[in-house]
Copies of this chain bind each other. A is one copy, B any other.
Amino acid sequence: MLVARNTHRNRLHRSNSPMRIADLETPVPVVDLDVLEGNLTKMQTYCNDHGLRLRPHIKTHKCPEIAQMQIDRGAVGITCQKLTEAEVMADAGFLDLLLSYPLVGVGKTARLAALAQRANVAVSVDSEQTLETAAEAAAISGSRISVWIDFDSGAGRTGVPSVEDALRLANCVLDTLGLEFAGLITYPLSPEAGAIYEQAATLFAREGVAIPGFSGAGTPTSLTSHQTHGLTEVRHGTYVFHDRSTVGAGAATLDECALHIWATVVSRPSRDRAILDSGSKSLSSDRVPETVGQGHGLIGEYPDAVIERLYEEHAIVRVPEGSEGLEIGERVRVLPNHVCVAVNLHDSLVGVRGDTVERRLQILGRGKTQ
């Protein structure tokens, strides 16, 4: 008989020593708290040095504990994408919330009004309809709501396409009781963003409209944010953990990557193929450009191995010829291509110092898309 018996009692026995990464069930997102704290401090120091207010985007971590670490270091508030995220953060005690997302409809209006009654709320708008949401919410709640005008800096995402449109909306804000004009906002902080802002500043000045602030975001260009003329605030998100994308963009080193998905080799059908238990339901299917790297994440211990395919619960790894290791039962750490979507797949993160598990961090904003 193949299987050694009666060994299980020994193997299942663990001493009272601290829990280690090797004790965790996989797949599991593990955060190196030293690296995380280093990233938080580095970004806050950078912002302080350049007179930029940091209002980090919590969409990356969706975790009140990490948001608190950002506030403790000097962040002036937090940024959320969806109302549900902001509601979670308000529940956790955060009282200065920017919703950098167009809010539309009766339900969103009522919820924005409710939120404005218990927190300082700012929104971004790029249309008359989203401005109306803010105006109605301010009226319903009797609370003041700050409004940023979103402009397109080249990404072709949201945002008004011209500075004239921005001025028109800004004047509407100024004419509306209960609303306060906060300034101009954009994503990402492209090279064009500064030039468009300068056009706007010229136009607004000619019309006698002051622009209180200029907010930009995007971890890939975060450390050159100060080169954007007129910028007063930044809303970077991914910098807390970094990932294969931000490393590929030159915004971080691999040593600054704080979050990995730890996985186990569960099958080794051939010498050139190993299977990890971390599929698209653990890592997400987001890709990186070919110039950044191949496959669905980078295996820290085997950077030459390629995660060629992802199924929902399988990562199919092409093992380089002659490579040792990646045997069944071995654990490896995978750097996700895009950490924000990977985090959103899990209920909690495991915080470690070195190899020792320190605590769990609950991702209370996970799945909050509405």
Task: Name A residues whose Cβ lies closer than 8 Å to a Cβ of B.
Answer: 1-8, 11-12, 23, 25-28, 59, 81-82, 101-110, 126-132, 135-136, 139-140, 152, 156-161, 172, 175-176, 264-270, 273, 275, 277-282, 284-287, 311-314, 316, 328-329, 340-341, 344-347, 366-367, 369-370
Contacts and interface: CB of A to CB of B under 8 A. Distances in A.
A152 B172 CA distance: 64
A267 B130 CA distance: 8
A267 B158 contact: yes
Nearest to A101: B313
A115 to B, nearest CB: 14
B3 A172 contact: yes
A195 to B, nearest CB: 19
Copies in the complex: 2
Nearest to A2: B172
A156 B273 contact: yes
A132 B5 CA distance: 9
A362 to B, nearest CB: 12
A126 B12 contact: no
Contacts of A286: 280, 285
Contact of A25 (B28, B280, B287, B370): B370
B159 A27 contact: no
A3 B370 contact: no
A141 to B, nearest CB: 11
A278 B347 CA distance: 21
Given A2-B172, A175-B1, A158 B269 contact: yes
A104 to B, nearest CB: 5
A280 B136 contact: no
12 contacts: A1-B172, A1-B175, A3-B131, A3-B172, A8-B140, A11-B106, A12-B110, A104-B328, A105-B264, A127-B268, A158-B266, A280-B341
B370 A26 contact: yes
B269 A161 contact: yes
B3 A135 contact: yes
B316 A129 contact: no
Contact of A136 (B8, B131, B157, B275): B8
Contact of A316 (B8, B103, B157, B279): B157
A161 B268 CA distance: 10
Nearest to A14: B106
Contact of A282 (B12, B313, B314, B369): B369
Contacts of A1: 172, 175-176
A151 to B, nearest CB: 10
Contact of A2 (B157, B176, B267): B176
Contacts of A157: 275, 311, 314, 316
Contacts of A282: 369
A76 B129 CA distance: 53
Given A25-B107, A129-B328, A313-B81, A102 B341 contact: no
B275 A158 contact: yes
Nearest to A329: B104
A341 B136 CA distance: 37
A356 B75 CA distance: 45
B5 A106 contact: no
